């Protein structure tokens, strides 16, 4: 009986830790409804234009920060010429994945992770050692990334899992 009580206390403790008041989850539509995401706090969106193979691609990052952890959904609608060329679309997705490895100071694997599969990169950022968990999708003429970044010792594993489970990309 005491063992059951201890197990229940541990279970409730884990549940309460996952529902920490630091994490105020909310559902947000990103990229004109192309992605539904659960963010752990109120997100902000920034955008910039990238050049790829002679095309301007508008790249928006919607992010929420909790402590030193950053939760981001990146969204890039592909120009018609890129959208209509499957090889060029995949080349753009590949270039985006390669940039994640480069930005973390890590050599990219060969082959790169499969589109839609989660992967992690342990590397360096200006702040020091960092862990990045990511998934990259190509869907209906858009590129979407889900990203969680934090120091390796403080990486919010349960919250990252919850974030990725809450990402719904229109297919």
Q: What is the pLDDT of residues 111-168, one digit of tens each?
A: 999 999 999 999 998 889 999 999 999 988 999 999 999 999 999 999 999 999 999 9
Structural domain of 123 = 25-169
Residue 118 covered by a domain: yes
Name the residue among 105, 113, 36, 107 with its Cα closest to residue 73. Answer: 36
Q: Look at residues 23, 45, 27, 43 and name the one whose alpha carbon lies nearest to residue 35.
A: 27
Question: What's the structural domain count of the chain?
Answer: 1
Report if residue 124 sits inside a domain: yes
Q: Note the pTM of the prediction, 2 decimals.
A: 0.85
Residue reference for tokens 């899992």: 161
Q: What tokens appear for 146 in the block?
A: 């889900």
pLDDT at 146: 97
Q: What is the CATH number of the domain that holds 146?
A: 3.40.1000
Residue 132 inside a domain? The answer is yes
In a domain, 19, yes or no: no
Q: Is 36 within a domain?
A: yes
Q: What is the pLDDT of residue 3?
A: 39
The pLDDT tens digits of the residues spanning 111-120 come to 999 999 999 9
Task: Give a yes or no: residue 157 inside a domain.
Answer: yes
Domain-embedded: residue 14:
no
Q: Is residue 106 part of a domain?
A: yes
Evaluate whether 169 touches 29 at the Cβ level (below 8 Å).
Answer: no
């Amino acid at each position: 009986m005491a063992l059951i009580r201890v197990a229940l206390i541990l279970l409730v403790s884990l549940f309460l830790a996952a529902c920490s008041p630091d994490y105020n989850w909310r559902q947000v539509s990103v990229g004109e409804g192309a992605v539904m995401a659960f963010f752990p706090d109120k997100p902000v969106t920034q955008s910039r234009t990238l050049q790829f193979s002679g095309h301007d691609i508008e790249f928006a990052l919607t992010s929420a920060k909790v402590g030193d952890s950053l939760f981001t959904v990146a969204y890039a609608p592909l120009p018609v010429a890129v959208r209509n060329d499957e090889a060029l679309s995949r080349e753009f997705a590949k270039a985006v994945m390669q940039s994640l490895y480069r930005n973390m100071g890590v050599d990219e694997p060969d082959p790169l992770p499969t589109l839609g599969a989660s992967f992690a990169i342990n590397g360096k950022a200006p702040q020091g050692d960092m862990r990045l968990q990511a998934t990259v999708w190509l869907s209906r003429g858009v590129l979407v990334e889900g990203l969680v970044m934090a120091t390796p010792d403080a990486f919010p594993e349960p919250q990252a899992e919850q974030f990725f489970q809450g990402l719904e990309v229109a297919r």
